[in-house]
Amino acid sequence: MSRRKPPADPHLKGISCGILLAIFGAMVTGGAALTFGEEGKPLGDAVMTLLFGVVPLVLGIVWASRSAAARRKAAWEETERKVLTLAMARGGILSALEVAAKTDLSLDEAKRYLDRLADQGHVDLTPSDQGLVYRFPGAGTPLPSELDPHPQAHPAAAPRQREQ
């Protein structure tokens, strides 16, 4: 039986390349700083240091930080998708324990995540016999497409005929 490799994180490549570019830029800048002031072409040295040292250093830092931010955003969106799917499956009522069990979040992270949703007004915090539960308004109700199995038969959906 062959094991499937998990899909590669596309953001790790950007983070790695950005770090390598920043290290290259730092090494060139550091090497130029050690020889700066020696006899020769100071303007040429400064231009080369700028082009091959400082610019790659800055671009590497920007590239790595943007890739890391995109990775965090993608992970957050994946967690959100899991939590909303779980809320729909549970009739719109969840506890922090359920979220922690079904996602990659720890119990404390799940509680902070749900509290944040409650602070933003997306969920209602309700005490129950089992502790605090989070109600997702609308998650326990069927979607409009599930309510009307024949949407074309609805009078508002039918095309109007011209009166003669």
DSSP letter string over 56-96? HHHHHHHHHHHHHHHHHHHHHHHHHHHHHHHHHHTTTEE-H
Question: How far out from the chain centre does Cα 79 lie?
Answer: 9
The model's pTM is 0.59
- Burial label for 99, CB within 10 Å (0-12, 13-18, 19+), is buried
Cα distance between residue 17 and residue 29, in whole Å: 18
Torsion of Cα atoms, 137 then 140 then 145 then 146, to 10°: -160
DSSP assignment letter at 39: S
Torsion of Cα atoms, 39 then 40 then 41 then 42, to 10°: -20
Q: What is the pLDDT along the chain (164 residues), one digit of tens a residue?
A: 556 665 667 788 888 888 998 998 888 888 777 776 666 666 667 777 788 888 888 999 999 999 999 998 998 888 889 998 999 998 889 999 999 998 888 999 999 999 999 999 989 888 888 788 999 988 765 544 444 455 454 444 445 555 55
